[in-house]
Amino acid sequence: MGIHIERVTTMDGCKKCQYLASTVWGGDAACSTAQMIVHATYGGVVLLAYDEHTPIGFLFSFPAKYREEWVLWSHETAVLPAYLHRGIGQSLKETQRSTARELGYGTIAWTFDPLVARNAYFNLHKLGARIVEYKRNVYGSDMADQINRGMETDRFVALWDTMDGSTVTARNLVHSHFEAISVLTTSHSGAPILTDSWPKSTEHLTTDVPLDFTQLILHDARRAEEWRLSFRAAAEQLMEVGYTPAVLQRHADKATYIWIKEEPQS
């Protein structure tokens, strides 16, 4: 049978999801099995990935109202470390998408840390989701959090259309040859450098982020906090005047968002 994905509809399945979440993030970060079974039964989508009979990844999502639209809110997705980089996360998301479409959801929504480059690349390029909002400290700060370790949890909100047949949309296909002004760059020492002013009519702008923010939190919490605050300042200003991060380029020592000017709605 190999690796396969099943939709969860039982308490036993929810317990397996909760165990995976606790293993990846720590016990306090995981949702309860009671919470999962309610959503698994009444309008949500809970999925388990198996290697033969061994649970190796899960996805937990539920109905939510975002900007006056009922969406399927994707709250937790995790894969055991030994199974990373094998396409399991993408398979979970694609199964979620097809199931959401069958249930009548037009949109899936979720949050992700804009400074975690691998997640940004996955969401923008592998899935073709679009970023619509920047929110400060969405989940609070908790020293017991094994990943964020007390840092404020700023997040992008991503939307994913369930009715679009393609996985990568045209908005991600920015031409490789263009002039772009950098709003947030990286110094030789790895520190963020925020530009004080920039022309608000430029078609393309860029902001750097660390290549591995999770490791930066572990080894240099002060520098990680500098990046959090600098990126927050840049992102909030950019989105306020109509820019959207559409592409993430990965380099040897950093990653770079390319922001495009959104056309005003007629």
How far is residue 139's CA from residue 25's CA, in Å, rounded to a whole number? 14
Kindly state the average pLDDT of the residues 127-150.
82
In the chain the domains, ranked by start, together with CATH numbers, are 3-170 (3.40.630.30), 171-261 (no CATH)
pLDDT the model gives residue 169: 46
How far is residue 227's CA from residue 159's CA, in Å, rounded to a whole number? 25
Which has the closest alpha carbon to 197: 238, 163, 158?
A: 238
Kindly state the average pLDDT of the residues 76-94.
95
227 with 208: CB under 8 angstroms?
no
Kindly state the average pLDDT of the residues 137-151.
73
Reported as a single tens digit per residue, the pLDDT across 29-59 is 678 899 999 999 999 999 999 999 999 999 9
pLDDT the model gives residue 196: 84
Q: Comparing 14 with 145, which gets the higher pLDDT?
A: 14
Reported as a single tens digit per residue, the pLDDT across 94-118 is 999 999 999 999 999 999 999 999 9
119 pLDDT higher than 80:
yes
Strand partners, 69: 66
How far is residue 56's CA from residue 5's CA, in Å, rounded to a whole number? 10
pLDDT the model gives residue 26: 76
164 pLDDT higher than 90:
no
pTM to 2 decimal places: 0.92
Reported as a single tens digit per residue, the pLDDT across 183-199 is 999 999 999 999 988 88
At 221, give phi and psi (nearest 5°).
-60, -35
233 pLDDT higher than 60:
yes
Which has the closest alpha carbon to 158: 198, 116, 195, 193?
A: 116
